[in-house]
């Protein structure tokens, strides 16, 4: 989802969560006076919510995909992201509370173009019909359990409908141009190979965005700063994070000017107001702590960000030569990794990220 749309969706999502919680309490309230009798409706509310989430996931990999929706990667659990792995279907995010709650990590249309109202209705009708059928099946359980499960199942169907309508109303990057997925996949194991593939592609906005990750992996920070500045000038908040990180890396090499350091401080302050979805997994917090002279906090923040970004990034941070001599380990260092820096969530496919 584009950054502006992400900001508009955030309050809608919060209102929906409040409505869902109120609905859950309203269903369980008549049973509160009965002591233990509140347990069946409470369990029904949980089962109904989880069943709907699994139904939505099944719709995205089945009818939804055939009808034009695109899901890039998956998220499991609730809470903040604590681990990221890369797979054939996109990134997989494990959240802090490992509940059986799957959700698409990114959502869009397969063509990247907005869906017409008729097409959007065709995409959502199978899901709504399946949700209604599932609620009826849950209601067959009877009692407070069945009633709560059916009601929460129907309420849970509202969020996927609103989200699909939101991402289908604007152009999205649900489908990368030909050749770019191969560049991004190759970048995880062979930076030089990714550069060769990137140079063979025709120039364009998507190609230049992919060049940001390649330049970051190559350690060509001055070129990265110049390229990221072009996108930042257009108000691209995601690229502004890359721009800030590139300025910090440039400062570590000793090639930064006073203007570069001032720009880093400005971008870093602006980044604090960005949605958490954009900031999670980047090492910007560690770079800010380093700029403030707090080396110990910088090491902790860097390792935490690397663990969220991916296991490979975590290993890179553990094995790379420490830039802070006062925090260097007592044991002999292992060889530095091939990548100068972990790319973090910049390697994710574009689109809406939950």
Model pLDDT, residue 251: 81
Residue 224 pLDDT more than 80? Answer: yes
Model pTM score: 0.61
Residue 253 pLDDT more than 70? Answer: yes
| pLDDT tens digits, one per residue of 123-177 | 999 999 999 999 999 999 988 899 999 999 999 899 899 888 887 766 554 445 6
Q: Please state the rounded mean pLDDT for residues 15-33.
A: 82
3-state secondary structure string, the chain?
CCHHHHHHHHHHHHHHHHHHHHHHHHHHHHHHHHHHHHHHHHHHHHHHHHHHHHHHHHHHHCHHHHCCEEECCEEEEEEEEEEEEEECCEEEEEEEEEEEEEEECEEEECCCCCCCHHHHHHHHHHHHHHHHHHHHHHHCCCHHHHHHHHHHHHHHCHHHHHHHHHHCCCCCCCCCCCCHHHHHHHHCCCHHHHHHHHHCCCCCHHHHHHHHHHHHHHCCHHHHHHHHHHHHHCCCHHHHHHHHHHHHHHHHCCCCCHHHHHHHHHHHHHHCCCCHHHHCCCCHHHHHHHHCCCHHHHHHHHHHHHHHHCHHHHHHHHHCCCCCHHHCCCCCCCCCCCCCCCCHHHHCCCCEEC
Q: Tell me the percentage of the chain whose pLDDT exceeds 90.
A: 11
Model pLDDT, residue 53: 92
Residue 353 pLDDT more than 50? Answer: no
Model pLDDT, residue 139: 92
Confidence grade of residue 178 (pLDDT, cut at 50, 70, 90) = low
Residue 306 pLDDT more than 60? Answer: yes
| pLDDT tens digits, one per residue of 112-136 | 677 788 888 999 999 999 999 999 9
């Amino acid at each position: 989802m584009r950054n502006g749309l992400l900001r508009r969706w955030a309050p809608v999502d919060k209102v929906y969560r409040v409505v869902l919680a109120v609905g859950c309490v309203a269903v369980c309230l008549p049973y509160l006076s009965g002591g233990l009798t509140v347990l069946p409706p409470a369990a029904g509310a949980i089962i109904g919510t989880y069943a709907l989430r699994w139904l939505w996931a099944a719709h995205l990999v089945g009818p939804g995909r055939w009808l034009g929706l695109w899901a890039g990667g998956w998220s499991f659990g609730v809470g903040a992201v604590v681990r990221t792995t890369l797979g054939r279907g996109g990134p997989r995010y494990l959240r802090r509370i490992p509940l059986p709650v799957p959700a698409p990590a990114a959502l869009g249309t397969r063509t990247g173009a907005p869906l017409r109202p008729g097409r959007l209705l065709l995409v959502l009708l199978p899901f709504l019909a399946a949700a209604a059928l599932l609620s009826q099946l849950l209601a067959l359980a009877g009692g407070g359990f069945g009633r709560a499960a059916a009601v929460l199942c129907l309420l849970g169907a509202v969020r996927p409908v609103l989200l699909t309508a939101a991402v289908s109303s604007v152009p999205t990057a649900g489908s990368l141009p030909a050749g770019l997925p191969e560049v991004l996949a190759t970048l995880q194991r062979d930076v030089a190979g990714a550069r060769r593939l990137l140079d063979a592609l025709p120039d364009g906005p998507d190609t230049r965005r992919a060049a940001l990750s390649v330049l970051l992996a190559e350690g060509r920070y001055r070129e990265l700063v110049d390229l990221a500045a072009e996108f930042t000038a257009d108000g691209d908040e995601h690229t502004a994070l890359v721009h800030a990180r590139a300025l910090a890396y440039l400062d570590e090499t000793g090639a930064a000017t006073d203007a570069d350091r001032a720009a880093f401080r400005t971008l870093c302050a602006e980044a604090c107001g960005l949605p958490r979805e954009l900031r999670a997994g980047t090492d910007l917090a560690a770079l800010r702590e380093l700029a403030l002279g707090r080396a110990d906090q910088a090491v902790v923040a860097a390792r935490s960000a690397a663990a969220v970004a991916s296991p490979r990034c975590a290993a890179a941070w553990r094995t790379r030569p420490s830039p802070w001599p006062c925090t260097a380990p007592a044991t002999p260092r292992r060889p530095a990794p091939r990548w100068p820096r972990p790319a973090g969530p910049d390697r994710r496919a574009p689109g809406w990220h939950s």
